[in-house]
Amino acid sequence: MERFIYFDHAAATPMDARVFEVMEPYFMDAYANPTSIYKFAQKSRSAIERAREKIAEFLQTEPREIIFTSGGTESNNLFIFGAAEVLQKYGRHIITSQIEHDSVIEPLKRLETKGFEVTYLDVGEDGLVKAQDVKKALRDDTILVTIMFANNEIGTIQPIAEIGEVIAEFRKTKKVTSTEHHLYPYFHTDACQAAPYLDISVKPLGIDAMTLNGGKIYGPKGVGALFIKTGTPIMPQLFGGGQEHRMRAGTENVAGIVGFGRALELVQSARVEESQRLLVLRDRLINGLLQAIPRSRVNGDLHKRLPNNVNVSFYGLEGEAILLRLDMIGVAASAGSACAASSLEPSHVMRALGLSDQWTHSATRFTMGHGNTHEEVDFVLKNLPGIIKELREVSPFA
């Protein structure tokens, strides 16, 4: 069998067989529309609510605060557009970072065309948002703050709880009149990459909304969730039926929701053990590459990063050439976000680190997961130095 090593789990994870097992009955057997009132349909309804309760348990919140969506992009769009629409009468200032996912950046750019003002916080070479920078950026007309929990490209883990404390303290200084119904700014985090490895209990984080995605946790693609804390104002963006507490119209993806609930249960239950296992592989790969390949660097903080993320640059090369050579030997990696893979330009995340083009163009991301082994890491360490050497010999920039 041809060798194949999958090091692109940040883009998509394979479905866990235990997830598919619980989904299967809802494709062929329990297929009724969950909004119907007869007993057969209530099997679907009950399955959705059990999944909602399971997710709420891991987030340490209430089931009514979980809204099912089609994935991370929809959840991010729903919160940003939905909250901005309600809160614009109180202010039009939003705070985010320069390294957010496109499904946050693009909605914010859209809002800027409608008169909103967005502050994009710098991160520096370590790829970390500073809580003090959030504090400095807060204004009386700030209605939203959205900072991702863990970055999808460079794997840096942001100080969400610390930022939450800053926002909570700022709220105490605000004067709320009797005509105001909302204590803003509200705090949202995209936790799609964080869910398999970090504690996502919402109360310690001080957040009002959180985005999750089934395709990043060994569950089905095309399903996600948005936690919305009770009292957080939001306007639905899809209108029709009364599904999802009238927050997201459309017949529910029953099989997907069931699988999502099971997938989150599995990754959260095993996150400590799996994180420790992957941390060994991550550091083995990082240290091996830096030692074997001259003019190489790790992008993002070495310690405050996800246990499965290795993002490295090799001075003077193009990432696409590296990926093609890796693919030829059966290794799947990426140059950044899968959502922007068609672009030949360095991602906005890499540019935000303040590095020169000679570094940003060669950024290569290895993200490990279930099933990856020491032998696979050693295979990359054995072959990648030679690939880099050969590419540099023919590169006019290296």
Positions annotated as catalytic residues are 339
Beta strand 331-332 with 5-6 is parallel
356: burial class by Cβ within 10 Å (0-12, 13-18, 19+)? Answer: exposed
Instruction: Using alpha carbons, list the distances in angstroms from residue 301 to 156, 173, 276, 311, 354.
Output: 6, 33, 18, 10, 14
List alpha helices for 102-201, DSSP H.
102-112, 131-137, 160-173
With b for 16 or more beta-carbon neighbours within 10 A and e for fewer, the 326-336 pattern comes to beeeebebbbb
State how far Cα 255 lies from the chain centre.
Answer: 22
The token duo for 66 is: 């979980």
189 DSSP 8-state letter: E
C-alpha to C-alpha distance for 203 and 14, rounded to whole angstroms: 30
65: left (phi over 0), alpha (psi -120 to 50) or beta: alpha
The one-letter code for the residue type at 79 is F
Q: What is the dihedral of CA 216, 222, 227, 230, to 10 degrees?
A: 180
Length of the chain: 398
